[in-house]
């Protein structure tokens, strides 16, 4: 699927989460470098000032508290090619994994994973949240060149089920 005319995977782009109450929170940037083969390497740079530190299950997470739940970024823990191409945004999606938990719950709730399925629009990339079990990536995958969360391992969420209902890259 080719990128739409208004957006290319090149340069620096803002990453914004959109909440169900209409508010928006810019959480960082992604830096794309377009290669000669049409694919782009990327580097994610989350804004640490936007997140609070939570020590969950013997590990530090960068989290966004509010609206009755806490959303924590879960960095993909294994080697990744960190490339994206029109129609193949899987590694970028795997760089933007999150989990949610309620403030009164103890520890990391890795089975409550959030995967933002990205799609090209005229303005950029729009992501809708899908449910995943992040325990799947606790061990290295058999193939490091294949993103593990294929569509069969993701479930659509009802509208407004999560605090953040959308992620955009512009």
Domain-wise residue ranges, the chain? 11-169
DSSP 93: H
pLDDT of residue 104: 75
Cβ atoms of residues 65 and 50 within 8 Å: no
pLDDT of residue 60: 79
- On the question of pLDDT at 20 being above 50, the answer is yes
What does the alpha-carbon distance between residue 1 and residue 106 come to, in Å, rounded to a whole number?
A: 42
- On the question of pLDDT at 85 being above 90, the answer is yes
pLDDT, averaged across the chain: 91
pTM of the model: 0.91
- On the question of pLDDT at 2 being above 60, the answer is no
- Please list, residue by residue across 44-55, b when 16 or more beta carbons sit within 10 angstroms of its beta carbon and e when fewer do: bebeeeebeebe
Does 28 or 59 have the greater pLDDT score?
28
C-alpha torsion angle, residues 26, 28, 29, 30 (rounded to 10): -120
């Amino acid at each position: 699927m080719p990128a739409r005319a208004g957006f290319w995977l090149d340069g620096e782009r803002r990453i914004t989460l959109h909440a169900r109450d209409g508010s928006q929170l810019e959480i960082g940037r992604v830096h794309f470098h377009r290669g000669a083969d049409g694919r782009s390497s990327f580097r994610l740079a989350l804004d640490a000032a936007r997140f609070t530190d939570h020590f969950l299950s013997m590990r530090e997470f960068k989290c966004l508290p509010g609206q009755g739940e806490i959303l924590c970024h879960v960095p993909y823990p294994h080697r990744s090619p960190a490339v994206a191409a029109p129609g193949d945004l899987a590694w970028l999606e795997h760089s933007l994994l999150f989990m949610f938990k309620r403030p009164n719950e103890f520890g990391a709730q890795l089975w409550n994973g959030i995967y933002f399925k990205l799609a090209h629009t005229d303005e950029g990339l729009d992501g809708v949240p899908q449910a995943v079990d992040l325990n799947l990536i606790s061990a290295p995958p058999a193939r490091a060149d294949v993103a593990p969360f294929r569509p069969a391992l993701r479930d659509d969420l009802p509208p407004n089920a999560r605090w953040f209902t959308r992620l955009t890259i512009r």
